[in-house]
Chains A and B, each alone.
Chain A
């Protein structure tokens, strides 16, 4: 079964590192946004936070990290359960289809997020 062609960086070690780096970015982002929300927000303060350049950089970094992190994670799940060993050639087709569907979803999240960050 050929799995490297759909992996993030054609290298397990590279994927492992990217998984960790993106995880730390996402954790920092969700903790930060969570704390802001815990403090209570109204439209004006929330909007002004998301108008800051650093917040847009942080948010875009989180969106890109989401794509990277989900790609590596979903790849790990798919290459374990939708395999040639478990279901023959169908496994390869299904795995590719699911990986592409996830890729499309990630791309949609990214473009949608960019529109939210810079569109309003």
Chain B
């Protein structure tokens, strides 16, 4: 589909929002296990050693990162900054570039 970059960042913002709403179950499950007892904390650490578990956490964290960065762009635009066509395109580029950096860093941290 040929869409302007602003459309891609917008639709990804929506999709990531729906995704992390579901993914929140994983984070609350992890919070539950981390606080229940020293044994469940240790069990959580063990399960976080598995590649599948790392990938799921990384996917949810990535959604969270993208949604947050794109959200900050909205807050900036609410203040009247970057509301022009050029501003929107530049804002989208900044959102994509900084999300990629943060998502890669999160991946390095998780693995």
Binding site for B on A (CB under 8 A): 20, 23-24, 27, 30, 38, 43, 46-47, 50, 66, 70, 73-74, 76-77, 102, 105, 109, 112-113, 116, 120
Q: Name B's A-contacting residues (CB within 8 A).
A: 14, 17-18, 21, 24-25, 28, 31-32, 34-38, 41-42, 64, 68, 71-72, 75, 78, 109
Query: Which of these, A24, A27, A66, contacts B24 with CB under 8 Å?
Result: A66
CB within 8 Å: A-B pair count:
51
Q: Bound complex: CA of A86 vs CA of B96, how far in Å? A: 31
Asked, given contacts A23-B71, A23-B75, A112-B28, whether A120 binds B35 with beta carbons under 8 Å apart, the answer is yes
* A109 lies within 8 A of B32 (CB): no
- B77 smallest CB distance to A (angstroms): 11
- Listed A/B pairs (5) with beta-carbon separation below 8 Å: A20-B75, A20-B78, A74-B18, A77-B17, A105-B21
Q: Given A20-B78, A74-B18, A113-B28, 8 more contacts at CB 8 Å?
A: A23-B75, A43-B41, A46-B35, A46-B41, A66-B24, A77-B14, A109-B24, A120-B37
Chain B's interface: helix, strand, loop or mixed, by majority? helix
Residues of B contacting A24 with CB < 8 Å? 75
